[in-house]
A and B are shown apart, each in its own frame.
Chain A
Amino acid sequence: DAGVIQSPRHEVTEMGQEVTLRCKPISGHDYLFWYRQTMMRGLELLIYFNNNVPIDDSGMPEDRFSAKMPNASFSTLKIQPSEPRDSAVYFCASSYSANEQFFGPGTRLTVL
């Protein structure tokens, strides 16, 4: 398996623009997680899905953030409008049942 795939790997945008991050989980995994990593706060959960259904979005910072999982092989995280404080590395991870989580390479987002 190719592992968790994320795109783009790097994104540079200007404040106010819409940003869409994409994730393809490992085939057969039923859980998908979106995390954000910053120097100040470390790694934090944004939202997670089970069988394509959002279960916990309490980590989503505000209404500017939204996430979808239209099918078992694809998820998006959207930020609209983006702000400089959204600059971070965004990771997608997947797991089968409640077991080991496997992480993608991350998307480094810079909002100018």
Chain B
Amino acid sequence: KQEVTQIPAALSVPEGENLVLNCSFTDSAIYNLQWFRQDPGKGLTSLLLIQSSQREQTSGRLNASLDKSSGRSTLYIAASQPGDSATYLCAVSPANQAGTALIFGKGTTLSVSS
């Protein structure tokens, strides 16, 4: 059974720091991996989608990498800002069930202080 783990559960950094959020999954047979942001009391905002054939995706100050063989993904945030404070969720889609439900990690709650 696929399990997704995110470490650390919480992270506090000063504004301007570059940071890395980690995501690991137990079964390397995935179709894609998606990173989301969730603000308190709000829904999920999709940040980046990485297909299983890709190694990384970039959007602005965000860069997500994928190493399927080791079951790991990282989300790199450059020059962090207080507005980046939120919970970041990693989710994978199983390879044998394309288009099916995402399996989520519990998230990393990021706090960026000014």
By a beta-carbon cutoff of 8 Å, the part of chain A in contact with chain B is 31, 33, 35, 42-45, 48, 50, 55-56, 59, 91, 93, 95, 97-106, 108
By a beta-carbon cutoff of 8 Å, the part of chain B in contact with chain A is 31-32, 34, 36, 41-46, 49, 89, 91, 93, 97-102, 104-107
Q: Given A100-B34, A100-B49, A101-B34 in contact, is the A45-B44 Cβ separation under 8 Å? A: no
Given B31, B36, B100, B105, which contacts A48 in the complex, CB threshold below 8 Å? B100
Q: How many Å lie between the Cα of A99 and that of B107 in the bound state?
A: 21
A55/B100 in contact, CB under 8 A = yes
Q: Given A102-B46, A103-B43, A106-B43 in contact, is the A42-B101 Cβ separation under 8 Å? A: no
From B41, B91, B101, residue with most partner A Cβ within 10 Å: B101
Closest 3 CB pairs of A and B: A98-B99, A45-B101, A98-B98
Q: How many Å lie between the Cα of A7 and that of B26 in the bound state?
A: 35
Given A31, A35, A98, A106, which contacts B31 in the complex, CB threshold below 8 Å? A98
17 intermolecular pairs with C-beta atoms under 8 Å apart: A42-B105, A43-B102, A43-B104, A45-B102, A56-B97, A59-B101, A95-B99, A97-B99, A98-B98, A99-B32, A102-B46, A103-B43, A103-B44, A103-B46, A104-B43, A106-B42, A108-B41
B101/A48 in contact, CB under 8 A = yes
Q: Which residues of A contact B46 (CB under 8 A)?
A: 100-103
Q: How many Å lie between the Cα of A42 and that of B103 in the bound state?
A: 10
Q: Which residues of A contact B100 (CB under 8 A)?
A: 48, 55-56, 98
Q: Which residues of B contact A50 (CB under 8 A)?
A: 99
A42/B49 in contact, CB under 8 A = no
A91/B49 in contact, CB under 8 A = no
> Which single residue of chain A is at the shortest CB-CB distance from B31?
A98
From A98, A102, A106, residue with most partner B Cβ within 10 Å: A98
Q: Which residues of B contact A45 (CB under 8 A)?
A: 101-102
Q: Which residues of A contact B105 (CB under 8 A)?
A: 42
Q: Which residues of A contact B102 (CB under 8 A)?
A: 33, 43, 45, 101
> Which single residue of chain A is at the shortest CB-CB distance from B104?
A43
Q: How many Å lie between the Cα of A50 and that of B42 in the bound state?
A: 26
B43/A33 in contact, CB under 8 A = no
